[in-house]
Amino acid sequence: MSAAVQSGRPAGGTGPSAGAGTGGPGISGLRLAVRRFSRNRLAVIGLAVVVLFFLFCFAGPLVWSTDQTHTALTHANLGPSGAHWLGTDAVGHDELGRLMYGGKVSLVVGLAAGVLATVIGTLWGAAAGYAGGWIDAVMMRVVDAGIAIPALFILLVISAIATPGVWGLILILGLVSWLVPSRLVRAETLTLKNRDYVHTLRAIGGTHTRAIGRHILPNSVSTVVVAATFQVADAILLVAYVSYLGLGLQPPKTDWGGMLSAGLSATYSGRWWLIVPPGLAVILVVCAFNAIGDGLRDAFDVRGRG
């Protein structure tokens, strides 16, 4: 018996370090993921851009305080100057301040809607994949049907019926964009539910809730996080769409899409400062989130979006 313990030891010593690169003792999976992420230069730039935009929108007003509620028609349509770096819009709001103000809404709505969509999609997909059989078939046909209807169409219909506030916008956007993550998570669940540890749990009488909650969801977290990042990018873009079409938030509230829409009339009068900054902001943030998603995908070694 002592011989057995002895002979077990050399394998114990070589085993983990021989395991091809997935981290020997000392290097945690998280640190490895961070290292992989930081190797993707675009992703790092993306992360920096997102962080800068958050600082700009949330901390910026502390430095550059402006009045975004009252109109000041005496100051309307001014070009960039020392007092107004990015000029003013048609009702006299400072454009730089408005960029921060609108950015807050865009980022918060985008982030919240993206997270909401991911949460719904994850639960739906995990339930469908785990249940299998006809339940899975029905649940996934619902998703197929949802994907067949363009999200923008639904948004326009809803916006035509009711004028949403920030919370309403989050809810609506979340409810139209959970379909793709649900497919991804279902695919993941199909493989995870056949892992030996799930079989073992079921064999000793563990509940399905436990199997999903303790094993399947935690193990699909990398897929979920990657999906969430892309969802946020999509949601920010969707907010911009909806607001651009004039169906989003009502003035004086605004977001980047709304600013673009308001600036549209100024296209031919050469007031570029009403269009370029919000447009650029949307493009930059959406690209940045996508780049982060790519980086996370590298870091977690997850396959692409659905």
Partner 1 sequence: MTATDTTAAATAGTEPVLRLEDLGVTFSSETGDVPAVRGVSLHVRPGETLALVGESGSGKSTVALASIGLLPDNARASGRALLGSTDLVTDVVTASERDLAALRGRAVSMVFQEPATALDPLTRIGAQIAEVVRNHRQIPAKEAGVLAVDLLRRVGIPDPERRARAFPFELSGGQRQRVVIAMAIANDPELLIADEPTTALDVTVQAEILDLLRRLAVESGTGVLLVTHNMGVVADFADRVAVMLQGRIVETGPVEDVLLRPEHEYTRRLLAAVPRLAVAGSPAVPGASDAAARPGAGSGEEAGQASGQASGQESGEGSGAVAAEVPRPRYGTRARSANPARDSGTDGERVVDLRDVSVVYGRRTGAVRALDGVSLHVRPGETVGLVGESGSGKSTAARVALGLIRPTAGTVTLFGSDLRRTRARARRSLRAGIGVVLQDPVASLDARMTVQECVAEPLRVHRRGMSAKDRQEHVAELLERVRLPRAYAQRAPRELSGGQRQRVSLARALALAPRLLVADEPTSALDVSVQEAVLEVISELQEELGFACLFVSHDLAVVQHFAERVVVMRAGRIEEQGGTMDTLLHPGTDYTRRLLAAVPVPDPVRQRQRRTARQAAAAGTGPAAGTAAGTGATA
Q: List residues binding partner 1 (CB under 8 A).
A: 1, 3-5, 7-8, 10-25, 27, 29, 32, 35-36, 195-197, 199-207, 210, 214-215, 218-219, 221
Q: Report in angstroms how near the CB of residue 121 gets to partner 1 at its nearest.
A: 20
Q: From CA 269, how far away is CA 275, in angstroms rounded?
A: 12
Integer CA distances (angstroms), 301 to 33, 140, 195, 218, 280, in order = 9, 26, 19, 15, 31
Closest contact distance (angstroms) between CB of 37 and partner 1 is: 12
| Rg of the chain, C-alpha, whole Å | 25
Choose between 40 and 261: whose C-beta lies nearer to partner 1: 40
Q: How far is the CB of 196 from partner 1 (least distance, A)?
A: 4
Contact 106, 142 (CB under 8 A): no
- Cβ proximity of 137 and 194 under 8 Å: no
Joined together, the tokens standing for residue 298 give: 């590298």
- Type of residue numbered 163: T
Distance in Å, CB of 25 to partner 1, minimum: 5
CB of residue 270 vs partner 1: minimum separation in angstroms? Answer: 53
Nearer to partner 1, 11 or 62 (CB): 11
Is the Cβ of residue 163 or residue 191 nearer to partner 1 in the bound state? 191
| Cα diameter, the chain | 93
**For partner 1, the closer CB: 5 or 73:** 5
- Two tokens, residue 38: 């930081």
**Integer Cα distance of 112 and 129 in angstroms:** 25
* Under 8 Å between Cβ of 242 and 248: yes
213: DSSP letter: I
- Cα(186)–Cα(129) distance, rounded to whole angstroms? 5
Nearer of residues 160 and 203 to partner 1, judged by Cβ: 203
Tell the smallest beta-carbon distance from residue 22 to partner 1 (Å). Answer: 7
* Cβ proximity to partner 1, 23 vs 252, nearer residue: 23
Using alpha carbons, select from 250, 258, 266 the residue that is nearest to residue 282: 258
